[in-house]
Amino acid sequence: MLFETILALLLAQFAGVRKDGLTQLARSLALTVDTEEKAKEVVGKLTADQVNKFVQDWRKDADAEISKANKTYEDGLKEKYDFVEKGQPAPPTPAPTGGLSAEDVSKIVTEAVTKATAGLQEKVTAMESAKLTAEREAQLKAVLDDSLPQAYKDAIIDGFKARNFETPEAFTEYLNTTKTAAAAFQQELADKGLRQTAIPNFGTVNKEGVSAGVESYIKDQQQANGGNLSGKSI
């Protein structure tokens, strides 16, 4: 579009001039040219003084229109409501039925906005709460070693979901306590596992401390050698 081309040329040639003013100037120039070459030619002939004056005049007209619109809106409110200006003493007589002060209007608007956005705020709060809970659950699972029984880990997670943490510090304290308890439980399981490991059975020993298996082997060898169990002669 020629408008976009002209705006880019103006921004490059007149850096520092208000963009909204240059945008308005680009719209105006776009109505006077029909090719990109003509657009470059027109912009190239502009001087800084011309552009600044255009922007100033446009801004003055725009500000005047805004002020006029604001005054029209303010006059409409004054016709509809009985405002009490700040710094002015309240009238001695009560306001007529239906009269509202500026504070009353402000309160009405605030309450209306709060009511209109209540559902949205609840959804935002719920989403933030769910995200925080998921992040904390991930932290909790990270301190539960894989070697721990699944039933134990499930019980810890279920207990976590039933808790409320008023502050981040409260959750940190809970996480550290759970980590310590899990480590202690894991060590206890390891200790019990060592005590319950079966001792290897090397056979029952006699009063000389020889096992039945070894004693049977010695007897077999003695019978095979005529009752003599000795080494070979050298």
Provide the pLDDT for residue 211.
54
**Residue 127 vs residue 96, higher pLDDT:** 127
The model's confidence at residue 97, banded by pLDDT at 50, 70 and 90, is very low
On the question of pLDDT at 169 being above 90, the answer is yes
Q: List the single range of 14-23, 80-89, 193-202, 213-222 with lowest mean pLDDT.
A: 193-202
Q: Span 51-79, mean pLDDT?
A: 82
pLDDT band at 198 (very low <50, low <70, confident <90, very high): very low
- Per-residue pLDDT band for 202 (boundaries 50, 70, 90) equals very low
Q: HEC states along the chain? A: CHHHHHHHHHHHHCCCCCHHHHHHHHHHHHCCCCCHHHHHHHHHHCCHHHHHHHHHHHHHHHHHHHHHHHHHHHHHHHHHCCCCCCCCCCCCCCCCCCCCCHHHHHHHHHHHHHHHCHHHHHHHHHHHHHHHHHHHHHHHHHCCCCCCCHHHHHHHHHHHHCCCCCCHHHHHHHHHHHHHHHHHHHHHHHHHHHHCCCCCCCCCECCCCCEHHHHHHHHHHHHHCCCCCCCCCC
**Res. 216: pLDDT tops 80:** no
What is the average pLDDT score of the chain? 77
